[in-house]
Amino acid sequence: MPEVYYSHAIRQALEEEMRRDERVILIGEDIAGYGGAFKLTAGIVEAFGPERVRNTPIAENGFIGVAVGAALTGLRPVAEIMFMDFITLAMDQLVNQAAKFRYQYGPQASVPLVVRCPSGAGRCYGPTHSQSLERYFFSTPGLLVACPATPHDAKGLLKASIRCDDPVIFLESKVLYGTRGEVLEEDYVVPLGQAAVRREGTSVTLIAYSRMVVESLKAAEALSEHNVNAAVIDLRTIAPLDMETVIQSVSETGRAVVVEEGWLTGGVGAEIASRTMEACFDCLQAPVRRVAAADVPVPCAHSLEQAATPDWEDIGRAALATVAY
């Protein structure tokens, strides 16, 4: 399999799905011509035309509403939020509208919408361009949330999301755009709601998604030098949440560390930790620990951003404390 950049894998998925299904359209700020803030859609308007690749005003509440309407009337829009931070402007359209139509109208309505969201810290973009806001969506019934950690999954999950008949919030870590990995050349999808075991282990289970999977794998390698054999679970999607894979691993290791890039309080990790404790209480040998960002706005200065957001060293320390409990 050829090695492909994470960003190129996403572009491949968009182009392949647009060729496969003429109902797939792209909308967003500066995505046509300029190619978007991260150049993922550069050249696509020349290939598919301005009817299917549309620039929008700087008005997330407006163009996400347009995308919801387009999905309801038979198209399969992929909307790009320039930075995930700006998605808060479209909360009503997503949480109160898109998430509810299938429940309210059954087979009369579906919302096959994908909202692509470059998310997370790591580039020193400051407090309004570096947030991980998936906590606001993963607990909303009717919304799916995908968060790939590898180029292979970025392509496969995006293709699955575009083909899904329900709205999907699609997280893309900005730091991962420049990473490379093997990607199948033939058509494939990665099923939504199916976690992957990235590393087998017997001492402790590290549970993560998106960029924190990469950091967890680094931590696992470092932990091996301390005779700690860590398993790493890549959730791949947090809605649906594949707790079966998590529970199986934690039942074998007896210890768990849940990792996320978002803030600690009220985060995704809190829900996963609670469910893990409830399901694995009898076999846990230590409390479930959480690793997350500090409860502060993401700083702009590099040193402060590093101090506020988790990395492999934080994960390693939490795992060692769990094993030593």
Active site residue 302: no
Q: Which of 17, 29, 80, 129 is catalytic?
A: 129
Active site residue 152: no
Q: Which of 17, 29, 60, 80 is catalytic?
A: 60
State the amino acid at position 4 in one-letter form: V
Q: Which residues are catalytic?
A: 60, 129
